[in-house]
Amino acid sequence: MRRFGSERALTTFAPTYDAVGSVALGESFAVRTADCYDGQIADVGTLRPQIDMERFNRVSGPIAVDGVRASDWVRIRIESIELLGPGVMALTPGLGVLGEEVAHASTRLLEIRDGHAWLREDVGVPLRPMIGILGVATSGETVASSTPGEHGGNLDTRILEPGASLAVRAHQTGLGLAVGDLHAAMGDGELGGTGIEIGGEVVLSVERLDGYAGRWPAVLDGDGVHVLASGERLDDAVRDAFADAVDLMKQWHGLCWDDAYRLTSVVADLRVSQVVNPRRTARLSIPAQWCPTAFVEG
């Protein structure tokens, strides 16, 4: 299996890229990533304001996928995630939805043991490994790795986990995939501005996703198709996610737009993936029974 390290990493997604290597369609490959702080926080005495934020959210890659053409939709399968602890949770004034209530910067290192991340000896959070940043080369603009968009990027959606896939449109030949910002666990919304930040190694594979015709990236899993739209305001993200879902339901069920609007309003569910990044991300989930089987995992 091809393995790519974290030594060379980026803090942007752009329309041009210099690949660290290439893989074939359908080939499994492993990518090592540092945590979102690039390994700078190794003890509780190191605080977030003290580190070099130019190294924040570095992503490993980019990796070219042979045979992928611009405008192709692809399925990026998440085959496994190996966590390399400890987990880091660093707070600083202003971070998260209640950041004004954070009086002082502080750091916790969480031991990874027995299927949990331990905040305290008697407070263990069950592990649910997930990918925070998974994206591809953009169509034109250069986007910070901390920002989500139509290229994927810092989606921070908790269901981007082993067994799921990310559906995304290729904007450039070869895709230009990069990955990072792993979490041992994270709640929907990432309300405190942090998950359990951690390094690790992910195993991925990429294949074409024929017949998919959305606008925004989507998670495909056994529960259905989950559209991920991002906007400057959460309202914008919700509107765009719902519009994409209505268009998909119109295609899949041969409905007029009005009836697709009605049906999606009845069967789909809204979740909030994150509200702490430069653009907010909404997740509109279409249950598996309403999706073509080709787009449902498992």
Tens of pLDDT along the chain (298 residues) come to 999 999 889 999 999 999 999 999 999 999 999 999 999 999 999 999 999 999 999 999 999 999 999 999 999 999 999 999 899 999 999 999 999 999 999 999 999 999 999 999 999 999 999 999 999 999 999 999 999 999 999 999 999 999 999 999 999 999 999 999 999 999 999 999 999 999 999 999 999 999 999 999 999 999 999 999 999 999 999 999 999 999 999 999 999 999 999 999 999 999 999 999 999 999 999 999 999 999 999 7
Over residues 98-147, the pLDDT tens digits come to: 999 999 999 999 999 999 999 999 999 999 999 999 999 999 999 999 99
Alpha-carbon Rg for the chain, nearest whole angstrom, is 19
Rounded to whole angstroms, the Cα distance separating 47 from 280 reads 26
Contact criterion met (CB below 8 Å) for 184 and 104: no
Q: What's the sign of the alpha-carbon dihedral 74, 77, 83, 89?
A: positive
Q: How far apart are CA 56 and CA 60, in angstroms?
A: 12
Domain 2-149+172-207, what architecture? Sandwich (2.60)
Q: At residue 148, what are phi and psi to the nearest 5 degrees?
A: -85, 165
pTM, rounded to two decimals = 0.96
What are the tokens at 293? Answer: 């089987």
For residues 131 and 273, the answer to whether their CB atoms sit within 8 Å is no
Distances (CA, A) of 86 to 57, 112, 119, 146, 184: 17, 6, 11, 22, 9
